[in-house]
Structure 1
Amino acid sequence: MRWPRQLVSLLFVLSLLAGPPVVLLYLVGPPLRGWPTAVTAREWVRDPLTEHTLTAALTIAAWMVWLLLAYTVTIRVVARLSATVSWLRRVPLPTPLQATASGIAGAAVFGVASNAIATPSPPATQPVAAGSLDDVGIPTPLESVLHDDGISVSGGWMSREMAEQVSAAAALVWLRRRRDYRPRQLGQPSREDPALVQLPATVAAVQAALADTPPPPPSKAGTTSAGASLLGVPTTGGTFPRVGVGLTGAGAVAAARGLLLTSLLAGQRRPRVSVVVTRPVLSRLLGPAADMLGRRLPGLAVVDKLGEASRFFPGRATERGLDGRDHAQRHLRETTDAGRGAPVLIVDEAAATDSAESVARLAIDAAAVAVLGTWSAGHTWQVDPLGHTNHLDAGGRPGPRICVLTRVTATDLLTILAHPDPSPPEPGVSGPFGDGALPVRSPRWQATGKGHQVRSGEDHRRLELRVLGEPMLLLDGRPLTIRRTAAIQVLVFLAAHPDGADTRQLTDAIWPGLPRRSLTGRLYTTLSELRATVRSAAGVSIIEHNDDRYRFDPACVTVDLWRFHHAIRDATTAVTPADAATWKTVIDAYPADFAARRSWPWLGPIREAARRHVIDAHAALASRAPDARQAIAWLQAGIRIDPYNADLHARVVDALIALGDHDAADHTREGYARRLAAAGILPHDTALTTTIPGQPVNLSR
């Protein structure tokens, strides 16, 4: 409580101000009793050091000290009062409507007797994505979280449906990395693996916001729910007109970025172009990243001139002419019913004005046309930085809310859709379909946890942390109850980082995208409760805190992931074929995936690195198997660890063909193809990005 200390401080100041004058006046009296006369002045000059003059001098000095103290206190009080007045001036007063509503609410509360009032819990705060605000007027994180009809990030706004598509695309990135990994041979040097790089922080923020935001209630028939996807464009309460729309206002460019990402996400499963954009517009939207993403984004066609865009559209508009309105309306219904397979066209105002006839012709076959600027041939929307639109050609009537993204946020999200840089295949290795198109082998990551000893079984109260499989903290074989999910994350994160982690690393991993300054207290609370739980149950503290780094005390807890890393180190240092048994130890030390059934954004690289070690162990044992049947058994065991790995399937198919079992080889090949198709990926994606002129168009997969 602060008020007792404040009261004591006030009494002390008052005693300093009132005490010295009272004492001086009571003991000495006033410093001067009237003005000195000429006689008094001559006596003082003749004998200055008398008892009376010394007393007067000391009294005057005491009064001066008191005046200095009083002046200081007065200045502090005036400054505090001034700050209080300034704060009161900034406090917003309620409007008459708010005052009326408050009064009604107060009357309702105080007028109800003996009835329990249940207050709904406040909505979950939506994390914000990392990135700079490069667009004028883009809301700050504090402003963006006030909207509950979608997912708000520091880089803009998107519907919940679009956030789910981003999360699904991020999962596909890891599935493709698992598919493309090739087991490494023993003794090969380790190097950095770009396939194990964490996804952009913006993706993690979107995933966290999606997890913390409850799903919207189902919409009634005939209405459009928040974030409904119409013609591949997430909006709120409206449709994106097929005849085309011009985008103006502070959020126009951000809305075009949202349209670009939305259309590419919607077209991931279709082997065709989803977006056609002119090169100047793409540079305006993405800046320096436009050239790289323009080559690697599947479903994106970049054209230099608007006339080159007609080759990516069905072409029926040019055949029937512009005067066939009935045919155009029928084609509109056919295209919509067929699943909106036509691409989206994004151009700027200059191109739309100079080639108005071409744009109007393409708009008949396009899923949507967006013009950066006003467009007299279609509708024109004014877009604000939050994605709200107004129909300028309909008297300013409010329109649908559309996705808006800053340049940094859009680039981060588009990165998860882009194909990786092409790498030449290793010689002598072919895929399960004989095309040899698998990327170069991924390097081995060094095993972590080096130097952390495993406690012996002689400890009376044994604490064990299991993170391979469902995470749990065991005391004498029985799980301890950890109430906070964040505390479980702390345990798993520190298990994966035996050398420790600082406050920034923990907060960025557990609460991605949220302002770090607001998370320090939350982390301290989580750690304090976790320590109290463990201390009350086991009498020890398993987490050390030195120099702002948190780490496990290896003398107080054992971790199954550390034992797994020790087994890996023993296997990688074995140099004789007789030491192949150490690879079985690696397999036995891996009961399940790292933090199985958990979807925390930071898990991906660590989980995949551990899985790759086990795949390496199965491949090594298969290569040393005495016969083909045993080799196939080890390879199939590896496939059970990772059913999406193409190299393991290729080796099984080759081994079965070598044994003459072509039916089993075909069954393995077809089952693998079905598994990939069910997951939304194909055995070997071919780039759908098309840049013309000068390069061939290849839209096959």
Structure 2
Amino acid sequence: MTMYGLRHPILSKVTAATVLTALLAGIPTVLLAFFWPIDLPTLDDLATPTEPVVIKALLLGIVWTCWTLFAWAVLVELVDTFRVSQSRVRMPFQRLAAYLITTITLAATAPVAATRGAAPAAAVAVMPAPLPDHALMAAEPETGAPTKEYKTYVVKPRDTLWEIARKHLGEPMRYREIVTLNQGRVMDDGQTFTRGDWLRPGWTLRLPADAARLDTEHKAPEQGQAVSRDAERHVHTVASGESLWEIAEKRLGDGRRHKEIFKLNKGRVQPDGARLVDPDVLESGWRLTLPEREQAGRKPALHRPSVPARTDVTARPAAEPMPSAEMPAASAPSNVVVLPRGGMVALSFAAGVAVALAAARLRQRRRVTIRDVDEPVSVLAPEPEAPAVRALERAHRRSYAESDEAPPDDYDLVISSFPTDPPTALKVGTRGEEPVSLALSGLNLALTGPGADDCIRAIVLDLLSQADQHRAEIVIPRQDAERWFGAPILTMTDYLPGLRLAPELNDAIDHLEGQFVTRRRVLRDSEAEDIPELRDAEPDEPLPALLLTACSLEGHSYLDTLMGLASGFDIGALMVGRSAFGTTCEVGEDHQVAEASGALVEKLRDTSLFHLPQESASAVLHKLAVGNGMPAEQPTQEVDLSVPPPGTAERRVRLSIVGEPIVEVDGKMVDISGRTKALELFVLLAVHPKGLEREEICEYLWPDVEETLAGYRFHSALKDLRVALRESTGLRDKEASFVERSGKTYRIEAEHVDVDLWTFHRALADARTAADGEAKTVALEAVAGLCRGRLGQGLRYDWIDQDHRWPLTVASVKALLQLGTLHERAGRNERALEVFDQACALDPDMESAARAAIRLLVELGRTDEARLRVRHLKARLAALGVSASSETRAVLDQIGGRPGRVARN
């Protein structure tokens, strides 16, 4: 702070000068004008101390004495100021005098607040550029620096020497010692420190050796002290490119303990002043406290790796060994996703899109209904996802490969995506293999050049994918939003929590000003210095991180001035254009930072910024909106699946994939999972009974491998499959191939292999063409007998989830609901309940299945069990943060009333 909470430097100086003048000249002027001459009390008056003349004389004496002492303190301070030394004299009122004189002679760091749009360009160009807020850090001494012990401090916005001395030396009047240590030193920006000069954010000041509350310090070599071996064993210095997973694996012997390290170090200030807030973002040189290597009785926890192995679309599946020709074995892990048709984003962005996809699928399945038993049930083909969206979901799933952990299902993924901590950093790009992140609070970054718009799209969407009204808010003028994301964004605002579209840039700035006022008041009421401190003290305070994004090609002087004060308020700005006080980067067509100026030059030099073309950005934006409840077209087209007709002879090989995959030969199970890709090839051809060409198979199984090498792998997997089946059946090459080739197409040989999925589709077809209810019941019973679980349950193949698993699950539940209804109408209530329960187990998020089971339980008089199901359904919906459908609420309301029959819906 500067002058009792005033953060404007000129205003602080004027206020301090006014107060000093009033005290020195105003007090004697008032006393001489109204109380001169002084009526001295007589001896008789003194005998009665309560006489008014005695009290008046006493008060005037006290006032004159205090004024004299204050004037003398001012004189002493003025002498010390010009001598640049510390006086040994200590007097009453000296601290007040020192504070006022310090405020007048030493300026704060915040720039002068110009009237909006009124500051001339020449004046703006010479004003200091504030850096983003960061904590204390050590600096190396200059060449020829004295060996005397001292500590260092990096100036932050709004710092004054008075406040630095008060906080870190325990005595504000010791600011002169800081002046003495730094007088005449040349700072990193080329400016020379002189008494009375501005303090520039980013300057490294020397402080006396007894300075406290510093995270790092500089000592002369002879003063250094060795760290104990025991301490070193529990502290790890992060090396370039390391992840929490790698550190846990190397230092603790188990990479899955990476979350223990994150929990121990979360929010701790690091040597460079930053804080560990994101497990995916580590900086070289950070020091992390480690837990004990051994934990008695600890059960291994299944955790996702914080920075997985390469997950871009050019990476291999982690389950396969990689030839050295493809990638060096020692290649550092990557946390970026390179998209087809252009684009590069952070892996956290892929996670946000994956959550949106999962939420959209959950919403679609929850509201599935069967209007009548005569409604034909088919497997509907999902609408193909945009290439960028598909690649992002694939990258997210592969991020689990390194830990050998199965990706979570849709329900677990969505409920685990409800963090409460607002994001504190923007992931803006990479330098080599290292991520580059910028603190959001106080950020003032402007991008210009041909690649600027693509970079804005990627950075904004990354934040939007993790934003809601409590975590992050992004303010964009409507015209700029339409420019970057297309006109549809104007209709999606209600389904993009955290996004605020302002009519114009000035309206967006007005919103920022309102937030400054609100947050300043909240901080004052809570007695907190900044928003992070407030969140630590009051976690329930809903203050999201705030980012203004707009286009202002010539810059905006008032916004620049405003952002100079934003570091403590968790507010940042990301612009297309130029910034006078912040950092401006020239971004080339290759999205590389070509030139940069401002405080973040070192951070952004040679950085490849994340970027998205408009087509990919629009597809991702639409998917985020659908994931948040925007209505989307439901699939209506049936899967084009021509299954082979049932054979007359019994087949010796049977492949069951509706549930956990099982390969049987003559009724005995055969394990082929250990043969590389053989089982996946078998399953892939089973869901494509018409067959696929080799190039199509390679695209499914080896999408990231060069065509020739993928071809070799295909033939190797095909050979493994055939050998395994021939060894189990005893058939020779000429008797059975199991996978036959017709022209360029490979398909399962239906003469020797039976697939339960094909039987499933034939049973559904029989149900659709059944002449009466009994015939339909028989066909649907065949379907029920085949539904052992979800398609390929336990398999982690990307293409199953994206194209086949959930469409088949929805069709299965519909068929089971029809079957249960047919049994109920025929009076077979117990069998109907079994079928409804089977549907609930297959997909517990389908309200129609849960509703049918609850209703029938009540009709059977099993009310307590029905209410237990109701509690389970309500808890599951509450975990998702959604409400039940109107049909479900009607059933639940009737159960809450008197027991009895519940109306069908």
1:587 is displaced (CA, Å) by 0.5
CA deviation digits over 1:542-562, x for unaligned, max 9?
Answer: 112223211111002111111
Contact kept, 8 Å, 1:619 with 1:634, in 2: the verdict is yes
Q: Secondary structure at the match of 2:476?
A: strand
Cα distance in 1, alignment partners of residues 372 and 708 from structure 2? 46
In structure 2, the residue matched to 1:75 is: none
Cα distance in 2, alignment partners of residues 192 and 206 from structure 1? 25
Matching of residue 286 in structure 1 with residue 485 in structure 2: yes
CA deviation digits over 1:378-423, x for unaligned, max 9?
Answer: 3434556467798621383134876433333333433432227989
The within-5 A match list for 1:474-493 is 474-476=664-666, 477-493=668-684
When structure 1 is superposed on structure 2, of 583-592 and 357-366 the one drifting more is 357-366
Matching of residue 554 in structure 1 with residue 754 in structure 2: no
Q: Which residue identity is paired with 1:158?
A: V
Contact kept, 8 Å, 2:566 with 2:572, in 1: the verdict is no
The within-5 A match list for 1:180-329 is 180-183=367-370, 185-188=372-375, 196-210=382-396, 231=424, 233-234=426-427, 236=435, 238-249=437-448, 251-267=451-467, 274-287=473-486, 290-291=489-490, 296-309=495-508, 315-319=514-518, 329=529
In structure 2, the residue matched to 1:149 is: 334
- Alignment counterpart, residue 544 of structure 2, candidates 336, 341, 344: 341
Cα distance in 2, alignment partners of residues 475 and 351 from structure 1? 74
Contact kept, 8 Å, 2:492 with 2:625, in 1: the verdict is yes
Contact kept, 8 Å, 2:663 with 2:670, in 1: the verdict is yes
In structure 2, the residue matched to 1:615 is: 813
In structure 2, the residue matched to 1:584 is: 781
- Alignment counterpart, residue 655 of structure 2, candidates 435, 454, 465: 465
Q: Which residue identity is paired with 1:398?
A: K
Matching of residue 595 in structure 1 with residue 796 in structure 2: no
1:284 is displaced (CA, Å) by 3.0
Contact kept, 8 Å, 2:455 with 2:610, in 1: the verdict is yes
Contact kept, 8 Å, 1:388 with 1:402, in 2: the verdict is yes
Q: 1:353 to 1:671 in 2, by over 3 A?
A: same
Cα distance in 1, alignment partners of residues 448 and 781 from structure 2? 63
**TM-score, structure 2 as length reference:** 0.50
Q: Secondary structure at the match of 2:778?
A: helix
Contact kept, 8 Å, 2:337 with 2:350, in 1: the verdict is no
When structure 1 is superposed on structure 2, of 509-518 and 542-551 the one drifting more is 509-518
Contact kept, 8 Å, 1:495 with 1:561, in 2: the verdict is yes
Tell me how many residue pairs correspond in the alignment: 522
Contact kept, 8 Å, 2:442 with 2:571, in 1: the verdict is no
- Alignment counterpart, residue 499 of structure 1, candidates 690, 698, 701: 690
Q: Secondary structure at the match of 1:197?
A: coil
Structure 1 or 2: more helix by fraction: 1
Q: Secondary structure at the match of 2:461?
A: helix
- Alignment counterpart, residue 393 of structure 1, candidates 592, 598, 601: 598
1:644 is displaced (CA, Å) by 0.5
Q: Which residue identity is paired with 1:252?
A: A
Cα distance in 2, alignment partners of residues 335 and 320 from structure 1? 12
Contact kept, 8 Å, 2:659 with 2:792, in 1: the verdict is yes
The within-5 A match list for 1:99-114 is none
Cα distance in 1, alignment partners of residues 346 and 630 from structure 2? 36
Q: 1:388 to 1:181 in 2, by over 3 A?
A: farther
Cα distance in 2, alignment partners of residues 496 and 634 from structure 1? 25
Cα distance in 1, alignment partners of residues 366 and 561 from structure 2? 43
1:201 is displaced (CA, Å) by 3.0
Contact kept, 8 Å, 1:232 with 1:263, in 2: the verdict is no
Contact kept, 8 Å, 2:422 with 2:471, in 1: the verdict is no
In structure 2, the residue matched to 1:406 is: 613
Contact kept, 8 Å, 1:128 with 1:514, in 2: the verdict is no
Contact kept, 8 Å, 2:344 with 2:612, in 1: the verdict is yes
Cα distance in 1, alignment partners of residues 532 and 641 from structure 2? 59
Q: 1:651 to 1:313 in 2, by over 3 A?
A: farther
Q: Which residue identity is paired with 1:463?
A: V
Q: 1:292 to 1:526 in 2, by over 3 A?
A: farther
Q: Secondary structure at the match of 1:285?
A: helix
Q: Which residue identity is paired with 2:372?
A: Q
Cα distance in 2, alignment partners of residues 564 and 216 from structure 1? 35
Contact kept, 8 Å, 1:245 with 1:381, in 2: the verdict is no
- Alignment counterpart, residue 172 of structure 1, candidates 359, 363, 369: 359
CA deviation digits over 1:605-636, x for unaligned, max 9?
Answer: 42222222321222113323046964555433
The within-5 A match list for 1:351-390 is 353=556, 356=559, 360=563, 367-381=571-585, 385=590
In structure 1, the residue matched to 2:770 is: 574
Q: 1:520 to 1:245 in 2, by over 3 A?
A: farther
Q: Which residue identity is paired with 1:489?
A: E
Q: Which residue identity is paired with 2:313?
A: V
When structure 1 is superposed on structure 2, of 484-493 and 160-169 the one drifting more is 160-169
Q: 1:517 to 1:232 in 2, by over 3 A?
A: farther
CA deviation digits over 1:145-185, x for unaligned, max 9?
Answer: 98743224143333344434433443333323322322353
- Alignment counterpart, residue 158 of structure 1, candidates 345, 365, 368: 345
In structure 2, the residue matched to 1:417 is: 624
Contact kept, 8 Å, 1:342 with 1:366, in 2: the verdict is yes
Contact kept, 8 Å, 2:310 with 2:335, in 1: the verdict is no
Q: 1:146 to 1:362 in 2, by over 3 A?
A: same
Contact kept, 8 Å, 2:585 with 2:593, in 1: the verdict is no
| Sequence identity percentage | 21
Cα distance in 2, alignment partners of residues 390 and 592 from structure 1? 57
Q: 1:215 to 1:501 in 2, by over 3 A?
A: closer
1:313 is displaced (CA, Å) by 7.2
Cα distance in 2, alignment partners of residues 441 and 205 from structure 1? 22
**TM-score, structure 1 as length reference:** 0.62
Q: 1:313 to 1:653 in 2, by over 3 A?
A: farther
Q: Which runs of 5+ in 1 are unaligned?
A: 1-122, 131-140, 218-227, 425-438, 686-701
The within-5 A match list for 1:410-449 is 410-419=617-626, 445=638, 448-449=641-642
Q: 1:486 to 1:260 in 2, by over 3 A?
A: farther
Q: Secondary structure at the match of 1:347?
A: strand
Cα distance in 1, alignment partners of residues 575 and 805 from structure 2? 44
When structure 1 is superposed on structure 2, of 407-416 and 674-683 the one drifting more is 674-683
Q: 1:679 to 1:490 in 2, by over 3 A?
A: farther
Cα distance in 1, alignment partners of residues 680 and 513 from structure 2? 51
- Alignment counterpart, residue 522 of structure 1, candidates 701, 704, 713: 713
1:497 is displaced (CA, Å) by 1.2
Cα distance in 2, alignment partners of residues 359 and 193 from structure 1? 54
Q: Secondary structure at the match of 2:697?
A: helix
Q: Secondary structure at the match of 1:602?
A: helix
